[in-house]
Amino acid sequence: MKAEVINPFLESARSVIEQVIQISPSIGSLGVKDIIPGQDHIWIQIGMSGHFTGMVVFEIHEKVALRIVSAMMGGFVLTEMDEMGQSAISELSNMISGNASTILSSQGFVVDITPPQIKIASMEHSPGKALCIPLMMEGIGELDIQVMIS
């Protein structure tokens, strides 16, 4: 795993979240985490190829995802993660990943990303470890960015 790849995702996530939901997230501690899908969590998986091969997974508790989507929709309150909510949270992860790949490109790395795949409650994956960093959004909750690179 390459630690330097996570910084562009953090930079991008902070910027995109500030623009889209007008909250400045704080960054938690970088750690290595076993990938275990959590109950009532949403996982958005984005594949990467090029200089770095692997995936980025955005893990969000469903209640936090609902708050994020509500903020993205100007305060319209969602009570369940319907198709529109899933589309909005997928697009947020796509914006973060796209911006991160642009940052990586400016650093001389060629990285292609796949469209986001959203999984609710569980995720089919190969067991493994990921670099994980939480972003805390005041009044909303936590979004974990997990990077698995080979």
Report the distance separating Cα 95 and Cα 87, nearest Å.
12
The C-alpha atoms of residue 5 and residue 81 are separated, in whole angstroms, by 30
Domain limits for position 71: 3-149
- CA distances 3 to 35, 80, 103, 106, 146, Å, are 17, 35, 15, 17, 11
pLDDT of residue 1: 47
Task: Give the model confidence (pLDDT) of 27-50 as tens digits.
Answer: 999 888 877 766 788 999 999 999
Residues near 77 by Cβ (< 8 Å), separated by ≥ 6?
70
Token pair belonging to 5: 């790849």
Total domains in the chain come to 1
CATH of the domain at 47: 3.40.1550.10
pLDDT tens column, 73-131: 888 888 888 999 999 999 999 999 999 999 999 999 999 999 999 987 555 555 578 88
- Token pair belonging to 41: 């969590």
pLDDT at 124: 55
pLDDT in tens, 54-77: 999 999 999 999 999 999 988 888
d(CA 133, CA 26): 11
